[in-house]
Amino acid sequence: MAEIIFYEKTGCAGNARQKALLVASGHQLVVRDLRGQFWSNVRLLEFLADLPVSGSTGGFARLRGGGHVPLPHFAPVAGDPAAQALRFAGAPYLWGGRSICGIDCSGLVQLAHLACGVALPRDSDMQAALAGRPLAPEEPLARGDLVFWRGHVALMLDGATLVHATAHRMAVVAEPLVAVEARVLDAGGGPILARRRP
């Protein structure tokens, strides 16, 4: 069929299932370690670049190189990472994923910011250390702020609601912050470790 470059986090069970399905479909895989790649803004263009559209027909955009894409898949890039993150609503959770086909919490935050021209590190621990500035305890949360737990990050839609890719719901969802805080504490995940404003 086709040769597919498959970026994975080594040891991810979800990646193993996806690779098996692709091979069973006749594709040849070139497997690369996701964390071993340098992901610059320029390198990510192949995933986020504008599509060359030559027109539209019957609800589809006609691509200059051939083929069609449903018009609802197009949206103008905004300078609001929260709006960009919401474009992934309902996407399946996949540890190590960075696309609408499967995405994890830090991948969602990274791509939402990259779509707005802001480069962030790939993993939540690096984002917690480097993304923007820390919020003082008395500062209220606002749209676009990042909230971190051990091994998890979420992006605030407003002072009380967040969007995140979560294994609990196995999808990208919006939820009240207080509900997520309580669930994480009940599961032994601990309290919020950091709050940052990119």
Tell me: the pLDDT tens digits for 92-137? Answer: 999 999 888 889 999 999 999 988 878 899 999 999 999 999 999 9
Domains of the chain by start residue, with CATH: 1-37 (no CATH), 40-74 (no CATH), 78-190 (3.90.1720.10)
191 pLDDT exceeds 50?
A: yes
Read off the pLDDT of residues 138-156 as tens digits, 9 standing for 90 and up: 999 999 999 999 999 999 9
pLDDT average, residue stretch 171-180: 95
Q: What pTM value is reported for the model?
A: 0.64
Amino acid code (one letter) for 152: H
Q: Could you tell me if residue 181 is left (phi over 0), alpha (psi between -120 and 50 degrees) or otherwise beta?
A: alpha
Residues 6 or more apart whose Cβ sits within 8 Å of residue 108 = 85, 88, 155, 163, 164, 165, 172
Phi, psi of 6 (to 5 degrees): -115, 110
